[in-house]
Structure 1
Amino acid sequence: MVRAKPSPAKDRMVSLRTICAILAGVSMLSFGTLLLKLPLRLSYRLYIQDLPAHPTVFNSQSYIQGPPTQSFRDNLRDDTKYITSWTSAGWTNDVMTYGNLIYLALITERIPILPKFLSSHIDTSAAPFPFGEVIDVPRLSQAIGIPLLEWHEVKDSESQVLDDLGCWSVWETVQQHEQNPQPRGSPSLSRLKLDISWTQTPDWVKLTAPDQRDSHASFWSLAALGFPEARNNSLGLKNHPSPQHQVSLPPDDHLLCFDYLYYVSAYHTWEWELDYSPAWRFVGQHMRWNTTIERIADEHARRAMRVLVDEPTPPYISIHVRHGDFGNQCRGVPLDQCFASLSVIARRVSEVQEELWTQKGIEVTQVIMTSDESAPEWWLEVRALGWTWVDYAAERTEEIYGKWHPVFIDAIIQSNAAGFVGTRGSTMSTLASRRVQAWRGGPIRTVQWGRLGADDH
């Protein structure tokens, strides 16, 4: 059978249909590809512009009954659950502790109540400093999608009412290698007029193996105690009556509380040093500075760099060199061999400068040193390198702003740099590194120390 030859008109119609089908397919494919790429592009843009992840603006006062009350319980809402903890370490460690507390609030669906920072590593005569006067609480709250409260919003700071409260002791559990482990107290408890009855947490909250001498607990094991099953199954564990009223109370469910949350991780110890750290990713990176204190820090940095009034703040590299108590870790090695020399640190600064130039096209010549080193000759060497620092005595910073501010200003100057060079093992360097990477997209380096040549590479 001979096939009929298609007519030219029909042939053109088929060709036209084919072309239309192909074009439609290409369009759909392109549209589909765009849809796949769009969320990534949008999320990237949001990240770069640092817009809040949640559009909701929280009024923290809506989550308590009203103004601060004499007893904290009178100000808690019956339809809301809360979580709190306290600190007893240096300020940077306390920032990380509150980051852990807020992350635990996220995964337990509770509202965190944050105490003031304590001046244990600054000057014990310095008054506690409110969290919200150094960290931008509305911005943090909006970014993470939950409200945050501070203790002075809940309970009157001048109250003389001693409140009974049952809480979990994590420290007693993770310190089992000690002869007589006890709950970890905090000066905040007496300031807040809280009489705590501690219940030891179960052994399974420990992150590492029982025979490992480590103090870390697991986020999700602690979170489990904020829910009925794990809580009810653990109520029979060792309990300590409160020190003043001598009452034995089970851990409170309305206000879930733990003695100490610095040593808490999801998977690995010292997790804030690791890039996947959930406490950093979901909370820490959103703990931006209060704008008032950031402005004060910028003014200090500008004067240190001798920036003219009508000129913008130039990009700079910040350094954090921690000596001080780190000398106790030198184990007999002379300090001039244990700590990295300034020439070693200068090599790291050069690496950061080169990376800023090759990757961003930014030439950075300004370098600001922050350190607890007290030897005048060491600072003369810093000056000889062409670097600068904030002279807090000449600035009269403590006299004008208070004893907390030099520490705050150092941290802000570190974080606002285009690149950063820090000290291995220092939590202040860890947080500065995280901030420069996340907030500025800047290169970082960590200087090794402990023996001569430790940072050779």
Structure 2
Amino acid sequence: MGSPTHQQPRFLRIALPLTLIISIALFFYWPDVHGAWRLYEPTREGEGGGGELVTSADDSLLTGNPGDATMDRLQPHLSYLTAGKGAGLTNQVWSAINLLYLSYLTNRVAILPPFFANQQILSTTRISGLPVSGMFNLSRLQLEVPLLRGVLDWEDVHPGSEAEWVTDSKDWPEIGGWGGLQKNVKFGFAKLKPIWTPYPGTTRSTTDPRYLNWVGFVPYLTPNSAFYQSFIARLLKSTPDALPPNDHLVCIDEVLAGSEMTGGDPYSEFVQGLGGWKYIGTHMHFRDELVEQGRVVLRKVFGVGEEEEVPPFIAVHIRHGDFFKEHCPKDAGDRICYTVSQYAYGVARLQDEMVAAGVPSTTNVLVLTDELDDTFFEEVKRRGWKTSRDGQGVDDSVLRNRLGGWYPTILDKVLMSLGSHFVGTDRSTMSVLSSRRVQDWNNGLAHMTGPTGPSLSLEGETLSWS
């Protein structure tokens, strides 16, 4: 008697072909870990003459004329994305990186809001916003990341929009947007009044409502996606008079606290050089004239001639200010948190790592800080370290006139990025971005200093406390 013919269970006969079909579809249409739902890719033209990225020989990212309504300035065949920003300048830079990363993942043209003049800047002469292109070389960014669909400042859409950050008008048209966490976020730069729809539940990275998960959010932002269409259908069925998030121009209240990892910490993701930093941030270089001005200042700081190279140095960022209140132990006084001696320990540890790694060591140290107390600077000086005060007196009139109150804080960021190695303040976003720049751009080593921990006295004695 022959062996009985083996027959697969019915669910397998159905499931296996279906799995194959889905796998093939995902292969062609689903993004890779750093790709996107891209329907087409921009071509690179004129690489020898400016390297401007355009979608075709006769195409542009905008239409109409300055002064036209916002939606009339957008090309009907392109999709756009923008978001609000807040907090200090470094956090706004972080938000710009995330906005660009989302546009990269969704094949949308990014329209970047200007940097908002927060309290630090408002105390100076310039109170209007600053276009992102006033600080970063966006042309270089697009050349290094050619899959970016396009990058615009809102200044390109509405000239003068950087002055309207905190302005609202009842006459501006309403537009549906994603968010609602920041009830008072302003969209004056866009001349629009967003009506917020809460994020879908699948976009949450953690139980903290501020944290967004890009993997969960991107399907809703992809132009004409089934996720978006299904969500809108359910929204209008439950709330017929709702104004759904616009699909032509996606508006998000804020994108600072987003990450790729479910349950991930956006801070940790950037510390590790992942996500938005890996694909966007590392390519956001400062404008050439800012870098050159930084070198001029550093030559003055370290006493070298105009034609000489800036010597290797360790950049140290010491964050004080609100960090005393937010991160120091409650029973600790200000002066045993984030002390110069603790950063000295970090510098010594970094120098040991240089020797171990076979990297030429250096004793040149430049301290950048928000501290204003003279006794602090006296202690820094006793260690033989330099500060930005040692660079005063160079001609910076052109940049000061152009940047106004933005100049000092931008210069600090540039100076940190030029360090051969870096010691920063743990949990400071400025330190994180500076650390990544030094590691990525200069192949440097980095160390972060917490509020309490080992310290190194001037005599070389190592101290510790709990």
TM-score where L is the length of structure 1: 0.76
Could you say if the C-alpha distance between residues 456 and 397 of structure 1 is closer, same or farther in structure 2, counting changes exceeding 3 Å?
Answer: farther
Contact 1:285 1:435 (8 Å CA) reproduced: yes
Structure 2 counterpart of 1:371, from 356, 369, 372: 369
**Alignment partner, residue 186 of structure 1:** 185
Partners of 1:303 and 1:165 in 2: CA distance: 52
Q: Does 1:126 align with 2:123?
A: no
Q: Is the partner of 1:123 in helix, strand or coil?
A: helix
Q: What is the CA distance between 1:280 and its match in structure 2? A: 0.8
**Alignment partner, residue 159 of structure 2:** 156
Structure 2 counterpart of 1:169, from 178, 181, 185: 178
Letter in 1 for 2:213: S
**Alignment partner, residue 250 of structure 2:** 256
**Alignment partner, residue 342 of structure 1:** 340
Letter in 2 for 1:185: N
**Alignment partner, residue 440 of structure 2:** 438
Partners of 1:195 and 1:396 in 2: CA distance: 43
Partners of 1:452 and 1:346 in 2: CA distance: 9
Contact 2:178 2:245 (8 Å CA) reproduced: no
Q: What is the CA distance between 1:420 and its match in structure 2? A: 0.2
Q: Is the partner of 1:309 in helix, strand or coil?
A: coil
Structure 2 counterpart of 1:203, from 201, 204, 222: 201
TM-score where L is the length of structure 2: 0.75
**Alignment partner, residue 221 of structure 2:** 226
Letter in 2 for 1:416: L
Name the Cα RMSD after superposition: 3.0
Partners of 2:356 and 2:211 in 1: CA distance: 40
Q: Percent identity among equivalent residues? A: 25
Could you say if the C-alpha distance between residues 148 and 360 of structure 1 is closer, same or farther in structure 2, counting changes exceeding 3 Å?
Answer: farther
Letter in 1 for 2:290: I
Count of matched residue positions in the alignment of Structure 1 and Structure 2? 384
Could you say if the C-alpha distance between residues 101 and 414 of structure 1 is closer, same or farther in structure 2, counting changes exceeding 3 Å?
Answer: same
Contact 2:82 2:111 (8 Å CA) reproduced: yes
**Alignment partner, residue 275 of structure 1:** 272
Partners of 1:282 and 1:184 in 2: CA distance: 30
**Alignment partner, residue 83 of structure 1:** 81
Structure 2 counterpart of 1:320, from 310, 317, 321: 317
Could you say if the C-alpha distance between residues 107 and 214 of structure 1 is closer, same or farther in structure 2, counting changes exceeding 3 Å?
Answer: same
Structure 2 residues without counterparts, runs of 5 or longer? 1-43, 456-462
- Describe how 1:18-417 pairs up with structure 2 within 5 A: 57-59=51-53, 62-65=60-63, 68-124=66-122, 126-145=127-146, 146=148, 147-157=150-160, 162-172=171-181, 183-187=182-186, 189-208=187-206, 212-213=207-208, 215-227=210-222, 228-235=225-232, 236-237=234-235, 249-267=243-261, 268-270=264-266, 271-275=268-272, 277-329=274-326, 330-336=328-334, 338-391=336-389, 400=401, 401-417=403-419
Q: Is the partner of 1:323 in helix, strand or coil?
A: coil
Structure 1 residues without counterparts, runs of 5 or longer? 1-53, 173-182, 242-246
Contact 1:420 1:436 (8 Å CA) reproduced: yes
Once the two structures are superposed, what CA deviation does each residue of 1:387-417 show, in whole Å capped at 9, x if it has no partner? 1111287669696551111111111111111
Q: What is the CA distance between 1:121 and its match in structure 2? A: 4.4
Could you say if the C-alpha distance between residues 390 and 273 of structure 1 is closer, same or farther in structure 2, counting changes exceeding 3 Å?
Answer: same
**Alignment partner, residue 25 of structure 2:** none
Larger radius of gyration: 1
Q: Is the partner of 2:120 in helix, strand or coil?
A: coil
Q: What is the CA distance between 1:361 and its match in structure 2? A: 4.4
Could you say if the C-alpha distance between residues 336 and 397 of structure 1 is closer, same or farther in structure 2, counting changes exceeding 3 Å?
Answer: farther
